[in-house]
Amino acid sequence: MSNIVASFTRLCESYIDLAERFQRLDIEHMTLKEKLVPLLKTLRSDRQEISRLQDEKQSLENELYKAREACNVLVAEKIALKALEPLLSEKVIRLLNEAGEQMELVNETINEIEANDQPNLGAEDKALLDHFYADPDAFTNAHELLTVLQPVEGVNGKPGQGSWGASSESAIA
């Protein structure tokens, strides 16, 4: 029986040893799982960042291509304009500057005219013109014109020849 007890004791010791190893393995497994989850999250985040960076790289490459094309166009234009450079002598540049100054003077004059289009007229004359522009039909009737203008008296106190208030009949007499 001592054989059976010894075998059973070894079996129990082996079982206890196996249980301890399994417990350590389980703890290590849980520790690895705890470390693996953040690693997987980081991996997923990094993949998304890589995808975004690849898209950005493609976009930048497209912009670079367009910029190079634009640069090539500008270089071609510069080469074409270089042939015209002798035309820009000092005399031509001076004439262009004078023309620019003249254009500035013309613009100033136009602005002054727009601000005051009748600088030589008095306030009363300007008001009369404004009235005419507002209602030109009022001035086409001669009778209304005579009522607007005041009659000028002649030498003897009556409307005389050549006066605004004189009629054609009194001018003939």
Q: Which of 27, 52, 67 is the last residue of a domain?
A: 67
The position carrying tokens 């005419």 is 132
For residue 173, being part of any structural domain is answered with no
pLDDT tens by residue, 9-49:
999 999 999 999 999 999 999 999 999 889 899 999 999 99
Q: Which of 22, 48, 67 is the last residue of a domain?
A: 67
Q: Total structural domains in the chain? A: 2
Residue 39, phi then psi, degrees to nearest 5? -65, -45
pLDDT tens by residue, 86-102:
777 788 888 889 999 99
Model pTM greater than 0.85?
Answer: no
For residue 166, being part of any structural domain is answered with no
Residue 146 is predicted with a pLDDT of 57
For residue 158, being part of any structural domain is answered with no
**CA–CA distance, 162 with 32 (Å, rounded to integer):** 122
For residue 136, being part of any structural domain is answered with yes
For residue 89, being part of any structural domain is answered with no
For residue 139, being part of any structural domain is answered with yes
Q: Are 121 and 129 in contact (CB under 8 A)?
A: yes
**CA–CA distance, 137 with 131 (Å, rounded to integer):** 11
Instruction: Identify the DSSP state of 153.
Output: B
User: Which residue segment(s) compose the domain that 145 sits in?
Assistant: 121-151
Strand partners, 153: 159
Residue 163 is predicted with a pLDDT of 44
